[in-house]
Amino acid sequence: MESIVVKLQEWLAFYGLKVVAALAILVLGRIAAGIVRRLLRKVMTKGKVEPTLISFVCSVVYVGVLAFVVIAALGQLGVQTASFIAVLGAAGLAIGLALQGSLANFASGVLMVIFTPFKVGDFVEAGGGVGTVEEIGIFSTMIKSVDNKKIIIPNAQVTGGVIINHTAEKIRRVDLVAGVSYGDNLDLVKKTLEEVMAAEPRVLQTPAPKIAVSELGDSSVNFVVRPWVNTHEYWDVRFALQEAIKKAFDAKGISIPFPQRDLHLDMPKEVLRVIAEEAAGT
């Protein structure tokens, strides 16, 4: 019994401090993981990051810190953690390969939250979809089209292409083309277009509308009409201006020509003579 007691004392003396140190590492590590999670949540909340992404990132960071704490505690007890870390690394690699598409979407979602190329409520063209952004998720973005369809696009596809945000700025330019015939008075056409712009109250005076001859086409003289409007009124003003221009041209007798082609027939004189005689006879 005395030898057993001595050995127990020796074992306690040898391993007791290590066990206490390991427990201290676990307790302090858990407290530290909680502090890190709270600080990260506070920072991301102040940065107006999406709540779903905040919860996900905080959970991942918390679990990662706890895993590091557990490995440190095992090392304090004398457990060889190299093989354990290797197994975790191999498992992480396998999971990463299996979920590479989802991880790509997640990484793209994080980048979109950080750089904010658009926000909920913006009208965008992205990832092959066109519409109003309804939700920016961790793995996908939901867009509602103009005809009320729900379009769900993977985030990797959104960030992998061109993103056009139509509502990023407060004002937009309406680009219209008005074609008139070569016989119309160009000064009258320009004055008529200016009157149409002045009569539309939603057209901004600064920047001033641009009206100019842009092209001498095959069948028409083309005027560019470029007024500036508030972004949320873009489509209403565009439709209203096209209708107003047509009505103003009709009132002023300005014609909007159809495509025309001149046809020249190269025929023998005898054939032309016969045609002329038949036409004269009729």
Q: Is the pLDDT of residue 270 over 90?
A: no
Q: Quick one: pLDDT at residue 47?
A: 72
Using alpha carbons, select from 150, 152, 120 the residue that is nearest to residue 133. 120
Identify the residue with better confidence: 154 or 271: 154
* Same domain, yes or no: 195 and 214: yes
* Same domain, yes or no: 132 and 51: no
Q: Looking at the 3D structure of the chain, how many domains does it have? A: 3
Report the share of the chain in percent with pLDDT over 70. Answer: 78
Q: Is 181 exposed, middle or buried (0-12, 13-18, 19+ CB in 10 A)?
A: middle
Q: Residues 6 or more apart from 213 whose CB is under 8 A from it?
A: 186, 221, 222, 223, 224
* Same domain, yes or no: 73 and 137: no
Q: From CA 179, how far away is CA 255, in angstroms rounded?
A: 9
Q: Is the pLDDT of residue 136 over 70?
A: yes
Q: Quick one: pLDDT at residue 139?
A: 82
Q: From CA 112, how far away is CA 118, in angstroms rounded?
A: 8
Per the structure, the complete domain to which residue 195 belongs is given by: 171-252
CATH number at residue 35: 1.10.287.1260
* Same domain, yes or no: 58 and 83: yes
Q: Can you give the pTM of this predicted structure?
A: 0.62
Whether 11 is covered by a domain: the verdict is yes
3-state secondary structure of 153: strand
* Same domain, yes or no: 151 and 180: no
**Average of per-residue pLDDT across 110-118:** 81
Q: Which of 31-40, 71-80, 201-210 has the highest mean pLDDT?
A: 201-210
Q: Provide the residue type at 90 as one letter.
A: A
* Same domain, yes or no: 35 and 91: yes
Q: Quick one: pLDDT at residue 60?
A: 76
Identify the residue with better confidence: 73 or 279: 73
pLDDT digit string, tens, across residues 13-61? 556 677 777 788 888 888 888 898 888 888 878 877 666 667 767 877 8
